Amino acid sequence: MPVITTETVSLLAPHVIELVSGVFRSRKDKELKGTPEAQALETLNKDVLELQDIAAKHAEAIGEIAQRVEARFGQLEGQLKQQRILSAIALAVAVIAVGVAFVTQV
């Protein structure tokens, strides 16, 4: 099972859309040019707070995705260990079979 699944994409997609829309909501210098300085600062501070809130939400989402990825890697490591054991057993059976075939041929 791949690490990047539809579940991971579905967790990440809303946050990416929110971040992009947050960036586009940010005010441009030309929009604030004719406004009083206090109002412009208030508007910019509001934008900064919104972007910080969005960034915090993204950090939480990324943390959740990282936890799921770590859990999946743990599962894969367990499966790999099991496959190594089965491979060693299969190798031992093959060696015994070759030995038995060689002894019966002689």
Report the predicted TM-score, pTM, of the whole model to 2 decimal places: 0.52
- Both tokens of 72, joined, read 């999946």
Q: For residues 58 and 40, what is the distance between their CA atoms, to the nearest angstrom?
A: 27
Residue-wise pLDDT for 35-53, tens only, equals 777 777 787 788 788 888 8
What Cα–Cα distance (Å) separates residue 33 from each residue in 22, 36, 74?
21, 8, 55
Residue 6 one-letter amino acid: T
26 is a domain residue: yes
53 is a domain residue: yes
15 is a domain residue: yes
* pLDDT given for residue 15 in this prediction: 66
1 is a domain residue: no
Please give the tally of structural domains in the chain.
1
Gyration radius (Cα) of the chain, Å? 29
Residue 75 lies in domain: 6-79
24 is a domain residue: yes
